Chain A
Amino acid sequence: MPTTKTERLGIRISDDVVRVRQLTRTFALEVGLGLVDQTKVVTAASELARNTLDYGGGGDVTAEIVEQGGRRGVRLTFEDKGPGIADIEQALKDGFTSGKGMGLGLGGAKRLCNEFSIVSEPGLGTKVTIARWK
């Protein structure tokens, strides 16, 4: 899948979550996503950035504009070196939370995107990738 543009951002403080939203919005606009799709992918990015910060102890996000079969899309990869998730299936369920949230972060982000994948190893960290296609 060719990547035409890449940008990387650290997620260390709560202001960075706002920056991730802004970066995602810029990329979504460039891809030409409609207003509702823009809002969905920016909201998903916000949830995942907060997870990276609150549960992963900080990390970073890589935003990309990707092309496949003549379609363009935004792809975001969130990575942290935090405690990881032991039971991913449970973490994806609505209402599951280990902290202060509503437990909608992971499952909600998954619903708001066309593609979603998560790789996590207890003790090593978590990597979540989402994509939204035009």
Chain B
Amino acid sequence: MDRIPILKFGNALLVTIQVDMHDRLATALEEDLTSRIVSNNARGVLIDISALEVVDSFIGRMLDNIAAVSRILDADTVVVGMRPAVAITLVELGLSLTGVKTALNVERGMAMIHDRLAGSEADDADDED
């Protein structure tokens, strides 16, 4: 079966979804990402959906699940690049992805992850004092 590639980028994982995913592929991505967060000690997950023309309730739920699971595993998930028409449709569908952090593009998403890491490192430094 096909798999969506997951790239390691510093202490973050980067996923660019470039195909129209069938449900099994979406579920496989959810499972792959979860195990990679642990095996790579990742602190952030960036999911680029700028190529996706449609996000239906199944893919929306996958994004929600990934965000929830990664939070429990101490990693931040940021979804980037959502198309305006997709955002309008998702809200009308009734799915506002309240548990998912979003950013307009990859640069800003990566900055969000780094900001959070810088914050937690500062906390660690405080603890040592």
Contacts and interface: CB of A to CB of B under 8 A. Distances in A.
Contact of B94 (A15, A18, A21, A111): A111
B interface, size bucket: 20 to 34
Given A15-B22, A36-B85, A102 B57 contact: yes
Interface in A90-134: 94, 101-102, 104-105, 107-108, 111-112
A108 B83 CA distance: 19
Nearest to B57: A104
Interface residues of A, number: 26
Given A42-B54, A47-B56, A47-B93, 12 more contacts: A18-B20, A18-B21, A21-B54, A22-B20, A39-B86, A40-B88, A43-B93, A46-B58, A108-B92, A108-B95, A111-B92, A112-B93
Interface of A: 14-15, 17-18, 21-22, 25, 35-36, 38-40, 42-43, 46-47, 50, 94, 101-102, 104-105, 107-108, 111-112
Interface of B: 20-24, 53-58, 60-61, 83-86, 88-89, 92-95
13 contacts: A14-B23, A18-B22, A21-B54, A35-B85, A39-B86, A40-B88, A43-B54, A102-B60, A104-B57, A104-B93, A105-B57, A107-B94, A108-B95
